[in-house]
Chains A and B, each alone.
Chain A
Amino acid sequence: EIVMTQSPATLSVSPGERATLSCRASQSVSTNLAWYQQKPGQVPRLLIYGASNRATGISARFSGSVSGTEFTLTISSLQSEDFAVYYCQQYNNWPPWYSFGQGTKLEIK
């Protein structure tokens, strides 16, 4: 089983600043990683797939990168609507065994 570990659990950042969220896989998942944003009471929304590809309609302020088994979601110039919980998800396994990170809560400093 591939375990996804996100850090930090909570990140406090001021509006206009940059936020950097991390997700580490317990073994290689290649670039088979997605990031989702979830606001309170809402459905998860796809932000990034393939580790670095923005989903349709997602602001260019969101970017993803990978180094080995370490994945990073960067949000530049934070806006009020960006404060939410962010989850990473690996989809590398076959047969399917999707695993999510435990989430990072991005809060206003």
Chain B
Amino acid sequence: EVQLVESGGGLVKPGGSLRLSCAASGFTFSSYTMNWVRQAPGKGLEWVSSISALSSSIYYADSVKGRFTISRDNAKNSLYLQMNSLRAEDTAVYYCARVAIAAAGTLWFDPWGQGTLVTVSS
């Protein structure tokens, strides 16, 4: 069974840092572009960042560029999101999501992890 499990969320003060992890199983992790998507409480979905299968291509939404860093460890089947200089508006559930087809770039997302909540508040 294909599975994505996020961890690392929690409460952090404005200006603080947090590192999210996403553990993948049930598929060849090293063959897929991976993404982070977030959803603020009661709001819609916002794409955050993408990383290609071999980490050669990395992209960010303008809202997080320069503050967040996406990375992956294919040997550990894991995806990461290092979040620095956190702001109240970064409060959201953060989902990791796989593109649907191996070796593909821009595609729809399937599956999604269950999400981890990040709360930025003093």
Interface size on B, residues (CB 8 A): 23
Are A95 and B59 in contact (CB-based, < 8 A)? yes
What is the total number of residues of chain A having a CB less than 8 Å from a CB of chain B? 24
B45 touches A46 (CB 8 A): no
For A100, the chain B residues whose CB sits under 8 A away are 44-47
Report whether A95 and B47 are in contact in the complex, using a CB–CB cutoff of 8 Å.
no
CA distance A55 to B106 in the complex (A): 17
B95 near A43: Cβ-Cβ < 8 Å: yes
CA distance A34 to B111 in the complex (A): 13
Are the CB atoms of A95 and B57 closer together than 8 Å?
yes
How far is the CB of B55 from the nearest CB of chain A, in Å?
A: 14
Closest CB-CB distance, A28 to chain B, in whole Å?
15
Contact of A34 among B50, B59, B105, B108 (CB under 8 A): B108
CA distance A47 to B44 in the complex (A): 17
Q: Is the CB of A55 within 8 A of B105?
A: no
Q: Which residues of B contact A (CB under 8 A)?
A: 35, 37, 44-47, 50, 57, 59, 61, 95, 100, 105-115
28 A–B contacts, CB within 8 A, in A order: A32-B106, A34-B108, A34-B109, A36-B45, A43-B113, A43-B115, A44-B45, A44-B95, A49-B108, A87-B44, A89-B45, A89-B109, A91-B107, A91-B108, A92-B106, A94-B105, A94-B106, A95-B57, A95-B59, A96-B59, A96-B106, A97-B61, A98-B50, A98-B106, A100-B44, A100-B47, A101-B44, A102-B44
